Amino acid sequence: MKRLKLNPKIELFWWRLYNNAIPSNFLLANRRIGSFYGCPRCCELVEDNNHIGGQCVKIRKVIALINEWGLYIPVYQCFEDCLEGLQKLIGKEDLAANLYCTVVWMVWKSRCKLIHTGKEDSDNSIAANVISYAVQSNFLNFQLENWDTNQLRLSSHWHPPPPGWIKINVDGALKKNYRAGVGGVARDDKGRFLLAFGNTLQQWDAAQTELCAVLFLKNVVKEWMFEAQGVIIEGDNRNIINLLQKSIKNWKVSRAIEDSLAFLLDFKQVVFSYSSRIGNNLADICANLSLEGSFLWEDLLDNSIPPSFLHCLKEECDALGGS
Ligand SMILES: [Zn+2]
């Protein structure tokens, strides 16, 4: 647990859970303090460690929501499975483990609120809080290796960011005749358009194009974006995303960051993530359009936006099933 660098409150909660020291209805009934064994939400199910640690329907719902935002969280059948599973994640998929521990803690907190006030937090607000907590404890240092192992399931389509966040997809395009460009598109948690850009590159190097796309963000980010809860920068070149994660990690240790990346520190939180080509489709369109000339769109009514872009934007938004 120490290695997960959890928020101290969450670490303490898990330590208590492990030591059977959480006042669940099962524990209270066993000690003759209460008579009801069940979970206050899932009445007929006994509220023991297995339940609090993962079986509760509330935990499943919150996890399902977070998965929809494109972050992977595992589910476990019982508490023993859970401890074993978390152990396997440590060092490899710290983010997934951290998110899981935070979900369980927040769902327990919400359960106590339910007992005391008769009301509890919505699945949505718990899920959004979980993301903020997990990011704070890993500030600018997200490990998203889990995107690789679960790529087939996760990246088959574009995922919106959590509420209050912005996601910026970036991509590079190369043509044989020495032409290259970068492009990207920023959207909110409902998949709504915020801005898109494309920029022709003067010179290029195959491996560097996608990195250029990220660096070019410096020229297009708007002041108001820094007010968002955080920003997820997503690309489909695994090497580049890994490289960026590494330099951010170095920053955390040495407080030194390359000048070209320093603008990222203005955001409240930054997460780099890797997606499949399909999940990055709209950024790919922007990068290819940039070969015809640079552009910056901040309004969908902009006459220069081609139908191919609008069509793809609408499709990805519709796929979310929301507004
Ligand atoms: Zn329950």
Sequence-distant (≥ 6) Cβ neighbours of residue 216 within 8 angstroms: 170, 182, 184, 197, 199
Query: Ligand 1 centre from 290 Cα, in Å?
Result: 52
Contact, 193 vs 309, CB < 8 A? no
Query: Ligand 1 centre from 319 Cα, in Å?
Result: 30
3-state secondary structure of 183: strand
- Is 183 a residue whose pLDDT tops 60? yes
On average, the pLDDT of the chain sits at: 85
**Residue 160 CA from chain centroid, whole number:** 9
Query: Ligand 1 centre from 57 Cα, in Å?
Result: 5
Higher pLDDT, 110 or 279: 110
Query: Ligand 1 centre from 229 Cα, in Å?
Result: 30
Contact, 100 vs 73, CB < 8 A? yes
pLDDT digits (tens, 9 = 90+) for 111-123: 999 999 999 999 9
pLDDT digits (tens, 9 = 90+) for 9-30: 899 999 999 988 899 999 888 8
Which single residue is written with the structure tokens 């997606």? 275
Q: How confident is the model at residue 5 (pLDDT cuts 50, 70, 90)?
A: confident
Distance between CA atoms of residues 131 and 153, nearest Å: 20
Beta carbons within 10 angstroms of residue 245's beta carbon: 20
Residue type, 132: S
Query: Ligand 1 centre from 55 Cα, in Å?
Result: 7
pLDDT digits (tens, 9 = 90+) for 227-267: 998 898 998 888 888 788 777 777 767 777 788 888 888 88
pLDDT digits (tens, 9 = 90+) for 131-144: 877 765 544 344 34
Distance between CA atoms of residues 54 and 202, nearest Å: 53
Q: Beta-strand (E) ranges in 219-290?
A: 230-235, 270-274
Query: Ligand 1 centre from 241 Cα, in Å?
Result: 38
- What does the DSSP assignment read for 63-112? HHHHHHTT------SSHHHHHHHHHHHTTT-HHHHHHHHHHHHHHHHHHH
In the CATH scheme, what is the code of domain 153-318? 3.30.420.10
pLDDT digits (tens, 9 = 90+) for 168-177: 999 999 887 7
- What does the DSSP assignment read for 107-157? HHHHHHHHHHHS----HHHHHHHHHHHHHHHTTT----THHHHTHHHHTTS
- Please report, rounded to a whole number, the percentage of residues in the chain having pLDDT higher than 90: 43
Where are the domains positioned within the chain? 2-137, 153-318
Higher pLDDT, 288 or 6: 288
- Structure tokens given for 93: 């998929």
Give the max Cα distance, the chain. Answer: 80
Query: Ligand 1 centre from 51 Cα, in Å?
Result: 6
- Structure tokens given for 317: 């938004």
Distance between CA atoms of residues 273 and 247, nearest Å: 14
Query: Ligand 1 centre from 111 Cα, in Å?
Result: 9
Query: Ligand 1 centre from 16 Cα, in Å?
Result: 19
**In the prediction, which pLDDT does 144 show?**
41
Highest mean pLDDT among 146-150, 260-264, 279-283 belongs to: 279-283
Query: Ligand 1 centre from 106 Cα, in Å?
Result: 13
Mean pLDDT (whole number) for 204-223:
86
Gyration radius of the chain's alpha carbons: 22
Distance between CA atoms of residues 269 and 39, nearest Å: 35
Beta carbons within 10 angstroms of residue 203's beta carbon: 7
- Is 201 a residue whose pLDDT tops 60? yes
**In the prediction, which pLDDT does 81 show?**
93
Query: Ligand 1 centre from 28 Cα, in Å?
Result: 16
Query: Ligand 1 centre from 14 Cα, in Å?
Result: 17
Query: Ligand 1 centre from 63 Cα, in Å?
Result: 14
**In the prediction, which pLDDT does 210 show?**
85
**In the prediction, which pLDDT does 85 show?**
94
